[in-house]
Each structure stands twice: as C-alpha cells, then as structure tokens.
Amino acid sequence: MAILPLALAAAAVVAQAPASPKLTPVFTVRVEIAAPVEQGEIDGGRRRFIPITGGTITGPRLSGTVLPGGGDWQTIYPGGFTRVEARYFLKADDGTVIGIFNPGVRVASQDVTDRIARGERVDSSAYYFRSSPVFDPPPGKHQWLRDKTFVARGIRMPDHVLIEIFAVE
C-alpha cells in the first residue's frame, strides 16, 4: 500500500504550524505634538486632531527629522477604543522627504483613555497602541520603505509620541 506513506506525509505537513513572520526593528520616530483641537462628539465618538510640530527619527535603517505639519486624527469611543490616523512627512538625513500614513488603534480601560486624553503620563503597559505605517518615498535610496510591510508600537507621552517601527520579514 503505497498510499498510506503518502497520506501520513501529507498529514505531517498539515500538522506543522506555519512559521511566524519575523519583525526587524528599523527605526523609532519621536513625534512632537501640540495641544489637541477638539471637534466634539460625532457618530458616537469624540473626534480630535493632534497637530504634529516636529520630531526626530533614529535607528539602524533611517535617521532624520519629522517635519512640522500634518497630524493625527483621532476618534475616541466609549469603553476605551481609539482609532488613529496620522499623516505627516519625514525628512531623512540625506534630505529625502518621505510621506507617512499611519493608521492604527489604541485600546485601554476608560480610566487610562481619559488620562491619556488629558495629557497625563501613562505607562505603555496599561494600553495597546499598534499601527500599520505606509510610506511614500520618492524613487531611489529609500525605495525599501515602499517594498515592505511595517507594523509599529506607539508609546504616548504627554508632549510627544514614540513610534517604534518594525519591518515584517
């Protein structure tokens, strides 16, 4: 019965868990922010805009600055779920201007969400803040930013946000 060994081999392949993707740290963005502009309650959530005033980029794959302008559009829902959408520009040390669109979510207890919204310092272990940045570099040296998928972890501080960016390999 030659079929039995083939069936056992196929079952062994199916039983193996798929390999998880590897995350490689590429850089951290420190985004300096201004006071939020409150829009009010719309469609069940508190809408606000956080202006971006500048910042820095440091890491093994990219260094530079965050250009002033752009911002983070947030909708904070009852219960501690916040949807974020940030758009701004990075300027690499070589002068290349790179667009970034960074949608994500922040999930926390209502108390932690309220503390963050008031600008208080909250330990990052008290909330989940993840995003999926997409970059728009011009052709050339920084094309690798367009050629990969990225995930990020956000750390909210009273006057800035740290965005730790990882390439999904």
Q: pLDDT band at residue 5, thresholds of 50, 70 and 90?
A: low
Q: Give one DSSP letter per residue of 99-121, joined into a string.
A: EEEEEEEEEE-HHHHHHHHTT--
Q: Which residue has better confidence, 54 or 7?
A: 54
Report the pLDDT value the prediction gives residue 8, as an integer from 0 to 100.
Answer: 58
Instruction: Please provide the average confidence, as pLDDT, over all residues in the chain.
Output: 92
Q: Give one DSSP letter per residue of the chain, joined into a string.
A: --HHHHHHHHHHHHHSPPPPPPEEEEEEEEEEE---EEEEEETTEEEEEEEEEEEEEESSS--EEEPS--EEEEEEPTTSEEEEEEEEEEEETTS-EEEEEEEEEEEE-HHHHHHHHTT----GGGEEEEE--EEEPPSSTTGGGTSSEEEEEEEE-SSEEEEEEEEE-
Q: Which residue has better confidence, 4 or 153?
A: 153
Tell whether the model's pLDDT for residue 1 goes beyond 60.
Answer: no
Tell whether the model's pLDDT for residue 7 goes beyond 60.
Answer: no
Q: What's the whole-number mean pLDDT along residues 71-93?
A: 96
Residues 6+ apart with CB under 8 A from 108: 80, 82, 116, 122, 126, 127, 128
Least confident segment among 12-26, 28-42, 56-70, 118-132: 12-26
Cβ burial of 56 (10 Å; 0-12, 13-18, 19+) is: middle
Report the pLDDT value the prediction gives residue 17, as an integer from 0 to 100.
Answer: 84
Q: pLDDT (tens digit, 9 = 90+) per residue, 96-145?
A: 999 999 999 999 998 998 888 788 999 999 999 999 999 999 999 999 99
Domains of the chain with CATH codes: 21-168 (2.40.160.20)
Report the pLDDT value the prediction gives residue 11, as an integer from 0 to 100.
Answer: 58
Q: pLDDT (tens digit, 9 = 90+) per residue, 44-65?
A: 999 999 999 999 999 999 999 9
Least confident segment among 4-18, 31-45, 117-131: 4-18
Q: What's the whole-number mean pLDDT along residues 77-93?
A: 95
